[in-house]
Structures are given as structure tokens and as C-alpha cells.
Structure 1
Amino acid sequence: MNWMLRKSLLSVAGLALTGGAIAGPAVAAHATPPKADRFPTSSPRADQGDRDRHDRSDGRGDRSDRDRRDDRDRGRDDRRRERAVGIEYQAQPNFYYCGPAATRIALSAAGKHLSQDDLARKLGTTEAGTNSAEDVTRVLNELTGGGYRTTEIRESAASPEQVERLRADVVDALEAGDPVVANIKGSTVDTDGRAHSFPGGHYLTVVAYRDGGDVVRIADPADPVGEYWMTTERLAHWIAERGYSS
């Protein structure tokens, strides 16, 4: 049994701290689940802003290779400042279906709308939860034709290099139109200061980024609101001892 399997046997929603108050098991927190289609189907990009429209000369009336490279790189950076992928949101119907729900949210971006029961069977989900991010990666690749991989953060806290790796992976995946599914554990807060706590483990889906990938939007199948923004650094520490599919 590998370390991710051992760490993830209890990957169920557990107790959710919402706004600092204990909300009880996820199934109780979803007596009135969020509506589907919470996220836009369009994929807005950040305003590229004004660019220097004055050609700089290399002495021959033409722009230098370096100038053209600078503009090309600047344009690439502008295009990658912000990205949102259209998804269909679904809340998890019970306390242990976070894996199927988060996987379904990711698959909806590709126009695939399997039931959570079907995905639970493919993932091997039981009342003990979904074993690991590796199962999510396997099912995503099976249903999308491949391209997803599992990245592990084995330590109890993410290193700066692992934070940067997550940021780059999120940007690359969302630029390709593929949401990221993360297996997390423990407690953290979002950019609004709302607390989120899953001591037994949880799965959620990253569906957008802004600020060049420093902040991400999460579709959380156990959250009463359904979505929230979080810094990528906090998300990386939340993933620690688990992994993500991108």
C-alpha cells in the first residue's frame, strides 16, 4: 500500500468550518445544495492593458529581434494573467462522495456529465472515501483520452518550489481547458477570511486563476456557497501529504 493510499483512506468531507462556525458533516451542510452551473461557460481572460505601440529601431528602421521577443513574451504573460474554465457545479450528496463530485465538476468542462454514482464506481469510492489522487487521475484520463498526471506533495508543508510547481500546473491545465482536482486535508482560509476545515481529507476542483496564477478559484462540492478564491500558496499547503491531478 503506497503512502498516498494510506494517507487518503479517510478522504471524506468530515467536518466543515464555514465562516468560523462548525457546520457538521458535509451531508448536513448540504440540506439545500448550491445550484448547478454556478460558473460561467465562457472563459474570460484578463485585460491585456495598453502596450507600447512605438517601434524601437535597431538602426535600420526595423525592430530588433530582442524587441520582438520582448513583445512576444509580454503578450504571453498578459494572456496568462487570468483564466476561467466553464464547468457545471454539483454538490456532493453525502459525506463521502467528494471524490466523485470533484471529478464530475472537472469532467463537465469537457462536456462529460456522468452521474456521481457512475464515477464513484470507477473511482472505487466507499464510505471510507476515495483512496488517492492517483484514482482521480486514472479516471480523468480514461474519460478524457489522457493528459492528466498526479503530483504528490509528501511533506507536511509545501516548499516554495512545490508552490511554484502547483501554480505552473494550474496555469497550464486551465489554459488547456482542464480543471485541476486536488486532494486536501486540514484547515485553511480563503481570500475572504472564511475558514475551511476537512481533518479527514477532501477533494475539490480548481476552475480558475487570476494574478498570473497566484490566486485560484475553487469549486468545492461540500461548501454551502460552492465557490471561493484562495491563494495558491495556501492551497499547496492544504494539499500537503496528499496530491493533485492536473
Structure 2
Amino acid sequence: MSSSITRWLPALTRTTTRRTMLTCAGIAITAGAIAGPAAAQAAPGNSAHKAASNAKKPAKDKELRYQYKSQENYYYCGPAATRIAASANGHTMSQDEVARKLGTTTAGTNSAEDTTRVMRDITGKDYRTTSIPGPEATPAQMDQLQADVANAIENDKAVIANVRGGTTDANGIYRSYPGGHYVTVVGYEDEGRMVKIADPAAPSGDGTYWVSTINLANWMAERGYSS
């Protein structure tokens, strides 16, 4: 998918027109805390390769139906993002209940491993954790994220991203969470090259904005996502 990466490179250098500085408690993933893409899935054999080649191609664009609710306190970004994701499958439990399942404390929610575990428990769907362990995403990790988002949403699974630092959205707004944050991916366009974010800490509107897959991958550097 090198062409997709080249297409979105300008998004990384877009001039910032507005800045949104926000904070949300979150704990960084420690070394070895979550499995990387190589550990999370075995290399496909001939039968798996044949099945993949016959699999239905994801739609070019798709958005999930979900229920948005902003986080109820400064350290509930993990429970709020998880609740948004679960609501896409009809589960609208309280943020307190989700927080208990996640093990959230005033220091935040530990890692994407927790959001994966709880999404499996709540929805019964086969969620998995993917890490982006380096200081920035590689082209292969960007391509993997694009494929994972499209495949997850095609199967009615919202994606939960554990981000840190800042990124620029499609409208040129710089969004920053120096202490870490969780957001939910609820849709995609252009076969996953752009993704729709439902942000539980968004300061106005319906909490949504669009980000390129490349920017989202780099926003999750040293952390990871549940898909």
C-alpha cells in the first residue's frame, strides 16, 4: 500500500490553523506489555492465504451507528472510549461499570490490552491488541492500521486507539494529549485512508473529527489499539 502512504504524507506537514490542548490520564504501555503485530498473529499458511484472497473486500466508506457520551471525569477517557465502542453493538452500560471492568484508577487505564479484554467480554467479538512500539509508526504499521480499521468496521467493530502527544486532524486543528488518551474510531473513508474519531474529551460539538491513518498511527506510537 505504498501508494496510500505517499498520498497522505502531506497530512503530516499540514500547517496548523487552530490548536486544541487537552489532557487525559493514561498510563504508557511498558515494554512487552502488549503483543506486537508479529506476536499477535501467526504467519498465514497456504490455506489462510487462499481464504484471505477470497475474503470480501471492505467497502470504500463506512460509518458505524453508536452512542456518544463524553467522559465523566478527567481520568475516564478509557471507559468512555470503550463505552462508545461497545454501543456500536448495542451495549450502553455506565462509564462506572466499564471503568471497573478496565481496572481504571485516577491514573487512567493501563493499556490497549485492557480495552481489548473488556471489548471481548462485553461484545463477544474477537478483538485483538496491536502495538506500535517505536517512537513513530513504520510504513508497514500504517498500512496494517488502515487494513485493521477497514476490516474491523466492516465487521461492526469500533476500534479503540491509545494515543499520546498531538496530531493534526483533517480540518487543520491540532489536538494534543501529552499525558495520554483513548479515542474511538467509528468510521472510515477511502478504504481506510481517513478515519472518523469519536473523542470522549472533545471540547465542543458531537466529539467527532477526521484524521488520516498515517497521523493516527503516529499518534499511537509507543502505545497501541484494540480492533
- Map of 1:230 onto structure 2: 211
Gaps of 5+ in 2: 1-16, 26-53
Q: Per the alignment, in what secondary structure is the counterpart of residue 103 of structure 1?
A: helix
1:165 aligns with 2:163: no
Query: 2:162 aligned to 183, 199, 202, which one?
Result: 183
- The alpha-carbon deviation at position 202 of structure 1 amounts to 0.2
- The alpha-carbon deviation at position 25 of structure 1 amounts to 5.0
2: CA distance, partners of 1:240 / 1:124: 23
CA contact (8 A) 2:23 2:178 kept: no
- Map of 2:189 onto structure 1: 210
CA contact (8 A) 1:83 1:174 kept: yes
CA contact (8 A) 2:24 2:177 kept: no
Q: TM-score, normalised by structure 2?
A: 0.76
CA contact (8 A) 1:133 1:242 kept: yes
2: CA distance, partners of 1:140 / 1:20: 32
Q: Per the alignment, in what secondary structure is the counterpart of residue 20 of structure 1?
A: strand
Alignment of 1:146-157 (within 5 A): 146-157=125-136
2: CA distance, partners of 1:192 / 1:227: 12
- Map of 1:245 onto structure 2: 226
Identity across the alignment (%): 53
Could you list the per-position Cα deviations for residues 96-132 of structure 1 after superposition, in whole angstroms to 9, with x for gaps in the alignment? 0000000000000110011000000110001100000
Query: 1:174 aligned to 131, 135, 153, which one?
Result: 153
2: CA distance, partners of 1:19 / 1:96: 25
2: CA distance, partners of 1:142 / 1:20: 37
Q: TM-score, normalised by structure 1?
A: 0.70
Q: Per the alignment, in what secondary structure is the counterpart of residue 115 of structure 2?
A: helix
In structure 2, relative to structure 1, the CA distance for the partners of 1:219 and 1:130 (3 Å cut) is same
- Larger gyration radius, structure 1 or structure 2: 1
The letter for the 2-side match of 1:156 is P
- Map of 2:104 onto structure 1: 125
- The alpha-carbon deviation at position 146 of structure 1 amounts to 3.4
Could you list the per-position Cα deviations for residues 29-75 of structure 1 after superposition, in whole angstroms to 9, with x for gaps in the alignment? xxxxxxxxxxxxxxxxxxxxxxxxxxxxxxxxxxxxxxxxxxxx9xx
CA contact (8 A) 2:132 2:141 kept: yes
Q: Per the alignment, in what secondary structure is the counterpart of residue 206 of structure 1?
A: strand
- The alpha-carbon deviation at position 26 of structure 1 amounts to 6.2
1:111 aligns with 2:90: yes
2: CA distance, partners of 1:145 / 1:184: 25
Q: Per the alignment, in what secondary structure is the counterpart of residue 127 of structure 1?
A: coil
- The alpha-carbon deviation at position 145 of structure 1 amounts to 1.4
CA contact (8 A) 1:186 1:238 kept: yes
CA contact (8 A) 1:183 1:201 kept: yes
Q: Per the alignment, in what secondary structure is the counterpart of residue 185 of structure 1?
A: strand
CA contact (8 A) 2:130 2:226 kept: yes
Query: 1:195 aligned to 154, 170, 174, which one?
Result: 174
